[in-house]
């Protein structure tokens, strides 16, 4: 397969959550869904993952309808099954039930074999003061970079 540079990120995830454990999961997609993903017509900003019947599903992930499809189209916000090992699903389920974590999608990409993969993380929500601290550190880093650039030239 040709190398694809699809890399759809959830930029708010690091700002809103402390990311603890990361997993890479396959996604069960239909024909027109994978074509839209390969055209980078997907969004994972509002998506989250749930466990139902021992299986992991992603909800609220938007994959736009494929423009060149005929009468058959997929639903843009349908639940999609994530493909993980049983041990990984059990680890995620333990984090969800006992520790009160959530599962957040971080990145949607196409691997070297041409398959759609989703990087997910077991995450804990940040408090407001944590978010303020992150913004302060980001501003400090930006000002330090400006000063360094000024003295380099």
pTM above 0.85, yes or no: no
Secondary structure (DSSP) of 113-132: TS-EEEEEEEEEEPPHHHHH
pLDDT (tens digit, 9 = 90+) per residue, 67-105? 777 777 778 888 999 999 999 999 999 888 888 789 999
Categorize the per-residue pLDDT at 1 as very low, low, confident or very high, splitting at 50, 70 and 90: very low
pLDDT tens column, 112-146: 998 999 999 999 888 888 888 888 998 999 999 99
What phi and psi, each to the nearest 5 degrees, are found at residue 119?
-90, 120
> What pLDDT digit, counting tens, does each position of 28-64 carry?
988 888 888 888 888 999 999 999 998 999 999 998 8
**10-44 per-residue burial string, b: 16 or more CB within 10 A, e: under 16:** beebbebbeeeeebebebebeebbbbbbbeebbbb
- Complete domains list, the chain, with CATH: 7-127 (2.40.280.10)
% of the chain with per-residue pLDDT over 70: 97
């Amino acid at each position: 397969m040709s190398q694809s540079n699809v890399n759809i990120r959830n930029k708010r995830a690091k700002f809103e959550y402390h990311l603890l454990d990361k997993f890479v999961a396959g996604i069960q997609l239909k024909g027109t869904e994978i074509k839209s993903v390969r055209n980078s017509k997907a969004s994972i900003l509002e998506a989250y993952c749930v466990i139902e019947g021992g299986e992991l599903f992603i909800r609220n992930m938007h994959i736009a309808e494929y423009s060149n499809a005929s009468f058959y189209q997929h639903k843009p916000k349908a639940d999609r099954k994530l493909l993980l090992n049983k041990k990984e699903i059990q680890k995620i389920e333990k984090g969800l039930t006992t520790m009160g974590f959530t599962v957040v999608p971080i990145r949607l990409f196409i691997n070297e074999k041409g398959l759609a993969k989703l990087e997910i993380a077991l995450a804990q929500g940040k408090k407001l003061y944590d978010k303020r601290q992150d913004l302060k550190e980001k501003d400090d880093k930006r000002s330090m970079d400006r000063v360094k650039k000024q003295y380099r030239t």
